[in-house]
Structure 1
Amino acid sequence: MSLVRLNIKGISYSQTQNGAYALILSEVDGERKLPIVIGAFEAQSIAIALEKEIKPPRPLTHDLFKNFSDRFEIVVKQVIIHKLVDGVFYSSLICERDKIEEIIDARTSDAIALALRFNAPIFTYKNILDKAGIFLKGESGTMTPTPAQEESRVDEILADSGKNRDVNFKKMSLDELETLLDQAVKSEDYEKAARLRDEISKRNK
């Protein structure tokens, strides 16, 4: 399968869903965009890495990983978004130390936050881009949408990803909540997992 190189186009914040962000990646030799829903912490970490002038007074988690890696001469050579299952992207860090290459599993948001800090290229497979890539178009069908049109399209993506957010957990049994919690953790939907954990904690008081 052929790899497609991606650039980071930016981060969009949902105008309708509080705390929802989408990281927009664009293919280097094409017009498609790959939107990836990320959490607030990861959005902040990526935004700080994009804005080179911003220096946190203390290292963030991804900065700490970079400092640790530098100290022990570990280099992140590239990031590959290698799988898409049920709307969840899976990524790998291709690392090297002493000319020995290792592949480390990572959440895509973490992998990209680290790629920025290591100036490492980001890739995905063509079949993933064919499946999840989108074209952001303007009203005339051109490839240059206005910021408002782009925000509206990203909002639709975030809304689709959050259709299950408003499930009424109060009507569910404790066993159903526990099952949903396991599923949320496996699918890396940690925001939903946190809400489920809170509901379970209330029941167990």
Structure 2
Amino acid sequence: MIEMNVQGITLDPMTNMPIVVLKGKETDHVLPIWIGVFEANAIAMQLEGITRPRPMTHDLISSIIDSLNGYVEYIHIHDLKDNTYYAEITIRTSTSQVKIDSRPSDAINVALRSGAPIFVSEEVLEKSQLDTIDNDSSEDDLKDWLESIKPEDFGKQSSI
């Protein structure tokens, strides 16, 4: 497993769909994951330190885990099938460890709120690279664009 950080949120220049960009903490791996607008907004708000007067769903989940004397140990994006990523949230309590199936965008939102590490399987990174190589030149252009973006490119663009 490779530990990743959230590099930021950006928009796909072709479809205007949000993309959460993960970057290897100690590697050059970059993993773009297309996500929904609401999930992107929740991630962007958390990255920008914006708090809401009432808890959002991911805040509620984190609060429930805390109230049950548990904590999010880590999240793991563990599979890629038919252009869909699969993730698990691993929760630790004093007596057990529980893995909960999750969409990556929700798992990332929970990880950001709890300070938990984000891991991606090496197989997922390999599959994502193969998918890019197998597709047409517009995908190659997108790959080049994703690899060329820098942290300062995200700026205020992340508030969707």
What TM-score results when the alignment is normalised by the length of structure 2? Answer: 0.79
The equivalent position to 2:45 in structure 1, one of 45, 48, 69, is: 48
SS of 1:116's partner is: helix
Partner of 1:173: none
Separation in 1 of the partners of 2:71 and 2:94? 10
Structure 1 residue 4 corresponds to structure 2 residue 2: yes
Q: Contact 2:74–2:91 at 8 Å: present in 1 too?
A: yes
Structure 1 residue 32 corresponds to structure 2 residue 42: no
Deviation at 1:94, TM superposition (A): 0.7
Separation in 2 of the partners of 1:10 and 1:32? 14
For 2:6, the aligned partner's letter is I
1:54-98 per-residue CA deviation (whole Å, 9 max, x = no partner) reads: 111111110111112211212111000011001100000110112
Give 1:71-150 correspondences, 5 Å limit. 71-133=67-129, 145=148
CA RMSD in angstroms comes to: 2.4
For 1:4, the aligned partner's letter is I
For 2:68, the aligned partner's letter is F
Deviation at 1:17, TM superposition (A): 2.7
Q: Contact 2:21–2:32 at 8 Å: present in 1 too?
A: yes
SS of 2:148's partner is: coil
More strand by share: 2
For 2:82, the aligned partner's letter is D
Separation in 1 of the partners of 2:37 and 2:144? 27
Q: Contact 1:33–1:136 at 8 Å: present in 2 too?
A: no
- Seen in structure 2, the aligned counterparts of structure 1 residues 98 and 63 have a Cα distance that, compared at 3 Å, is same
1:107-166 per-residue CA deviation (whole Å, 9 max, x = no partner) reads: 11000000001100011111211221479658xxxx97366xx89xxxxxxxxxxxxxxx
Displacement over 6 Å in runs of 4+: none
Separation in 1 of the partners of 2:149 and 2:102? 33
SS of 1:123's partner is: strand
Report the structure number with the largest CA radius of gyration. 1
Instruction: Give % identity.
Output: 34
The equivalent position to 2:62 in structure 1, one of 59, 62, 66, is: 66
Separation in 1 of the partners of 2:68 and 2:59? 14
Partner of 1:203: none
Separation in 1 of the partners of 2:149 and 2:4? 22
What TM-score results when the alignment is normalised by the length of structure 1? Answer: 0.62
For 1:119, the aligned partner's letter is G
1:167-204 per-residue CA deviation (whole Å, 9 max, x = no partner) reads: xxxxxxxxxxxxxxxxxxxxxxxxxxxxxxxxxxxxxx
For 1:55, the aligned partner's letter is T
User: Unpaired segments of 5 or more residues in structure 1?
Assistant: 152-205
User: Unpaired segments of 5 or more residues in structure 2?
Assistant: 133-141, 155-160
